[in-house]
């Protein structure tokens, strides 16, 4: 009886794998008028920052009449990001736009996509240049780093200790930003000192705990720079609970909506970011133009429709300069 059962098991599995319904595999590049399918992947699905990017992407998808797939891992497990990308390759999407949790891991999957003729763009954080066609950069890393560093110096009269809280110490874009921050620090602000860098895995509670420890471990800390969006409110809450509002400044890259309360209370002095909706819109626009040949490698400028024409530096399209939100202008933004 049991042998009969295991025979049935093997037979059915063989049957299932053999019956590949439609033999055509790989992407459907040459199918012309068919509706474009663009797959957009955030670093992880639990992050409000990427929700606001998606709003822009949805708008672009509607304007350009393309089908938008939005999916991503629910935990920051790099293997899960690759799995979804490999599924999309088999699904035969036209363009994959991914924000890379970590550079090397995702490049393996993106390279495979390009081999199958699928166009690949990265946004928010880049992968290895050889595994994607274009990188949609919200702002140049130097631009972001200089804005943050100059703002930090302004708030602390360019002297004293400061600390950084990042998402994870392996996040590609954040390492890029930190490298530029340290370069800017060495170049312009000798009297300022970066005492520590702590990861918070994109969790507000963890950022708050790390900030509390930083405050107590470094009594004369002047400023906390939080460069991942959930860390900014987390660090602010820690400073407020430690009763050091104003004494220890808080700045970082974050959404105005998440930090409005702290900026109004003066706990957080300034929040640096870019219009995330525009980043989403630009990513889908670039992906669509790449797919139907309007955007070619080596181009110097890119007509981004309602966003105007944007500079292309090498193979990365730059959205613009980072924008500083503070108590004077934070109320005008709804994202």
CB 327 within 8 A of CB 319: no
Candidates 133-141, 164-172, 280-288, 294-302: pick the segment binding other proteins (CB under 8 A).
Answer: 164-172
Candidates 139-147, 176-184, 216-224, 294-302: pick the segment binding other proteins (CB under 8 A).
Answer: 216-224
Closer residue to other proteins (CB): 23 or 293: 23
Candidates 47-55, 141-149, 181-189, 321-329: pick the segment binding other proteins (CB under 8 A).
Answer: 47-55
* Nearest distance from C-beta of residue 66 to other proteins, angstroms: 14
Single residue of 56, 141, 199, 254 touching other proteins by CB under 8 A = 199
- DSSP classification of residue 308: -
User: Exposure string (b/e) for 253-273, b if CB count within 10 Å is 16 or more?
Assistant: bbbbebbbebbeeebbbbbbb
Single residue of 58, 59, 63, 105 touching other proteins by CB under 8 A = 105
124 is written with which tokens? 């928010």
* Nearest distance from C-beta of residue 118 to other proteins, angstroms: 13
135 is written with which tokens? 């990188």
Interface with other proteins, residue 114, by CB under 8 A: no
Candidates 69-77, 157-165, 281-289, 305-313: pick the segment binding other proteins (CB under 8 A).
Answer: 69-77
Pick out residues in 73-92 that bind other proteins (CB under 8 A).
73-79, 82-84, 86-88, 90-92
Closer residue to other proteins (CB): 91 or 188: 91
- What is the sign of the dihedral through the CA atoms of 55, 57, 63 and 66? negative
State the Cα–Cα distance between residues 293 and 153, nearest whole angstrom: 45
Measured distance between the N- and C-terminal CA atoms of the chain, rounded to whole angstroms: 63
State the Cα–Cα distance between residues 88 and 102, nearest whole angstrom: 19
Interface with other proteins, residue 16, by CB under 8 A: yes
Interface with other proteins, residue 208, by CB under 8 A: yes
At 180 the three-state DSSP class reads: helix
Interface with other proteins, residue 6, by CB under 8 A: yes
Single residue of 17, 130, 220, 332 touching other proteins by CB under 8 A = 17
Closer residue to other proteins (CB): 74 or 329: 74
CB-count burial class (<10 Å; 0-12, 13-18, 19+) for 212: middle
H or E stretch covering 26: none
Closer residue to other proteins (CB): 7 or 186: 7
Interface with other proteins, residue 48, by CB under 8 A: yes
Size of the site for other proteins (CB under 8 A): 73
> Regarding beta strands 249-253 and 301-303, do their DSSP bridges make them parallel or antiparallel, or are they unpaired?
unpaired
Candidates 132-140, 215-223, 286-294, 299-307: pick the segment binding other proteins (CB under 8 A).
Answer: 215-223
- DSSP classification of residue 197: E
Candidates 136-144, 237-245, 270-278, 318-326: pick the segment binding other proteins (CB under 8 A).
Answer: 237-245
State the Cα–Cα distance between residues 212 and 283, nearest whole angstrom: 37
Single residue of 32, 243, 308, 314 touching other proteins by CB under 8 A = 243
Choose among 241, 203, 256, 248: nearest CA to 223: 248
Closer residue to other proteins (CB): 170 or 292: 170
Interface with other proteins, residue 298, by CB under 8 A: no
State the Cα–Cα distance between residues 101 and 154, nearest whole angstrom: 31
């Amino acid at each position: 009886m049991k042998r009969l059962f295991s025979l049935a098991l093997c037979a059915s599995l063989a049957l299932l794998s053999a019956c590949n319904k439609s033999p055509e595999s790989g992407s459907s590049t040459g199918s012309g008028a068919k509706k474009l399918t663009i797959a957009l992947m955030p670093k992880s699905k639990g992050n409000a920052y990427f929700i606001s990017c998606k709003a822009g992407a949805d708008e672009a998808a509607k304007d350009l009449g393309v089908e938008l797939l939005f999916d991503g891992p629910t935990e920051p497990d790099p293997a899960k990001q690759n799995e979804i990308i490999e599924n999309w390759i088999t699904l035969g999407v036209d363009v994959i736009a991914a924000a890379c949790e970590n550079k090397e891991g995702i490049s393996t999957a993106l390279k495979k996509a390009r081999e199958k003729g699928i166009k690949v763009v990265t946004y928010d954080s880049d992968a290895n240049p050889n595994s994607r066609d274009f990188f949609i950069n919200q702002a140049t890393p130097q631009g972001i780093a200089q804005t943050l560093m100059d703002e930090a110096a302004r708030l602390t009269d360019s002297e004293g200790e400061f600390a950084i809280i990042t998402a994870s110490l392996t996040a590609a874009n954040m390492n890029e930003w930190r490298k530029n921050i340290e370069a800017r620090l060495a170049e312009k602000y000798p009297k300022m000192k970066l005492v520590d860098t702590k990861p918070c895995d994109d969790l507000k509670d963890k950022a708050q705990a790390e900030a509390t420890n930083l405050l107590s471990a470094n009594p004369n800390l002047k400023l906390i720079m939080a460069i991942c969006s959930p860390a900014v409110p987390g660090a602010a809450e820690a400073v407020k609970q430690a009763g050091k509002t104003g004494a220890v400044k808080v700045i970082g890259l974050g959404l105005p909506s998440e930090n409005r309360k702290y900026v109004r209370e003066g706990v957080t002095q300034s929040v640096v970011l870019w219009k995330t909706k525009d980043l989403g819109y630009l990513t889908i626009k670039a992906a669509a133009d790449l797919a139907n040949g309007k955007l070619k490698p080596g181009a110097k400028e890119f007509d981004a429709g309602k966003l105007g024409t944007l500079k292309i530096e090498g193979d990365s399209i730059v959205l613009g300069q980072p924008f500083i939100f503070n108590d004077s202008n934070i109320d005008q933004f709804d994202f």
